[in-house]
Amino acid sequence: DAMVIQNPRYQVTQFGKPVTLSCSQTLNHNVMYWYQQKSSQAPKLLFHYYDKDFNNEADTPDNFQSRRPNTSFCFLDIRSPGLGDAAMYLCATSSRLAGDYEQYFGPGTRLTVT
């Protein structure tokens, strides 16, 4: 059974048209993350939540925002996507009780910007 679910799996949007990516988890992990990954690069952390505490990485563009309405769900909003935002967006979860914050990833949303 899928433990970290991301929707949609593929998203095509137009330059400047807002888009929302979603993530849900059935693991009851208290930490959730959003990563951006481009080809042949390491995943780049955009945001993370520790319980309800939100943390924004210093170099995450203002164009990106996130919401976590409850433990199970997390959203990534891209207000005005640019061509450079085309990437794979990965959601992950972790918990200290689960292998010392070993991360569980969703299948990702591949974003195309036209």
Partner 1 sequence: RKEVEQDPGPFNVPEGATVAFNCTYSNSASQSFFWYRQDCRKEPKLLMSVYSSGNEDGRFTAQLNRASQYISLLIRDSKLSDSATYLCVVSPRGSYIPTFGRGTSLIVHP
How many of the other CB atoms lie within 10 Å of CB of 23? Answer: 26
Nearer to partner 1, 52 or 96 (CB): 96
At residue 102, φ and ψ (nearest 5 deg) are: -60, 135
Which residue lies nearer to partner 1 by CB, 60 or 79?
60
Q: How far apart are CB 71 and partner 1 at their closest, in Å?
A: 15
Give contact residues for partner 1 (rule: CB under 8 A): 31, 40-43, 45, 48, 50, 88, 90, 94, 96, 99-108, 110
Residue placing its CB nearer to partner 1 in the complex, 54 or 101:
101
Is residue 16 left, alpha or beta, with left meaning phi > 0 and alpha meaning psi from -120 to 50? Answer: left
**What do you get for the CA distance between the two ends of the chain, in Å?**
34
Q: How far is the CB of 49 from partner 1 (least distance, A)?
A: 10
By beta-carbon proximity to partner 1, the closer residue of 9 and 17 is 9
Amino acid 107 reads: P
- Within a 10 A sphere around the Cβ of 36, how many other Cβ atoms? 21
